[in-house]
Amino acid sequence: MLIAGLTGSIAMGKSTVADMIAANGIPMISADQIVHDLYDGPIAADIEAAFPGSTKPNDSSGDHKLSVDRQALMKSLNGQPELFKKLEAIIHPLVRKEEWAFIEKQKNLGAELILIEIPLLFETGAEALMDMVILASATSEDQRRRALARPGMTEEKLDLILKKQLPDHIKREKADLIINTSLSLEETDEEVKNAITAMKSRAQQMANKPDNKDSAYQRWAAEMANLTE
């Protein structure tokens, strides 16, 4: 089974590409969605203990549990790198476990190809856990225009976000496949289909070498073994 990672910097069209890939029947999981679900209850108490005042009652649950207030959490972090590392230490292992559960489920179902969407894939070194990496990319002009059209986004906020992300030209050098989202939707969809064809071809090559000891699956297994030690 081939494990591919999908990434892209802010406003580069990653979500659009993800939707197109999913529409072609490729099993996919989103790291962002995992974090969102964790924030809505499972780890809210741990976050509150580490960052007091960063949660609020989860009214949607009906059981008075807490959920993370993202704006309050960001204020607690206040741009301090050591606090971001503290937050990552809480979240990272849980996200990895959810991703691993997805991998195992899809492997048992006989999937030939799966995709894991990770916004900060290169920034966190997660490319080492992938057989291939797909990058959603666009011109810097399109990126900035899209980002600034988002509610609450400002030039200053965008610049701060971009400083935390690896420059797109470096990501392009590292990626195996690049999807150009500055094209029309029809053209981008065609690029996505071509990327899926390439991934399936690579997956078939891997299937012909079942004793491959350097597959992403093997690296994931080793990663999870380290997490549980």
Of the candidates 134, 128, 138, 136, the one whose C-alpha atom is nearest the C-alpha of residue 177 is 134
- Specify if 102 maps to a domain: no
Encode the chain (229 residues) as per-residue pLDDT tens digits: 999 999 999 999 999 999 999 999 999 999 999 999 999 888 999 999 999 999 998 766 555 588 999 989 988 887 687 888 899 999 999 999 999 999 999 999 999 999 999 999 999 999 999 999 999 999 999 999 999 999 999 999 999 899 989 999 999 999 999 999 999 999 999 999 999 999 999 999 988 886 777 799 999 999 898 877 6
Q: Are residues 212 and 121 in the same domain?
A: yes
Measure CA of the first residue to CA of the last residue in the chain; give whole Å: 26
What pLDDT, on a 0 to 100 scale, did the predictor assign at position 44?
92
Q: In the structure encoding, which two tokens stand for residue 36, read together? A: 């969102």
What pLDDT, on a 0 to 100 scale, did the predictor assign at position 63?
57
> What are 85-88's contacts with CB under 8 Å, separation 24+?
86/50, 87/47, 87/50, 87/51
| Residues contacting 193, CB < 8 A, separation 6+ | 24
What pLDDT, on a 0 to 100 scale, did the predictor assign at position 213?
72
Q: In the structure encoding, which two tokens stand for residue 24, read together? A: 């072609």
Q: Are residues 87 and 133 in the same domain?
A: no
Q: Are residues 19 and 39 in the same domain?
A: no
Q: Are residues 222 and 198 in the same domain?
A: yes
What pLDDT, on a 0 to 100 scale, did the predictor assign at position 29?
97
CA–CA separation, 137 vs 172, rounded Å? 8
Q: In the structure encoding, which two tokens stand for residue 27, read together? A: 């099993």
Q: Which domain holds residue 115?
A: 2-27+111-228
Using DSSP's 3-state secondary structure scheme, residue 1 falls into coil
Q: In the structure encoding, which two tokens stand for residue 4, read together? A: 């591919």
Q: Are residues 91 and 191 in the same domain?
A: no
Q: Are residues 20 and 43 in the same domain?
A: no
Of the candidates 29, 25, 7, 2, the one whose C-alpha atom is nearest the C-alpha of residue 181 is 7
Number of domains into which the chain is organized: 2
- As beta bridge partners, residue 57 has 66
Q: Are residues 88 and 180 in the same domain?
A: no
Whole-model pTM: value is 0.91
- Specify if 103 maps to a domain: no
What pLDDT, on a 0 to 100 scale, did the predictor assign at position 229?
62
Total residues belonging to the chain: 229
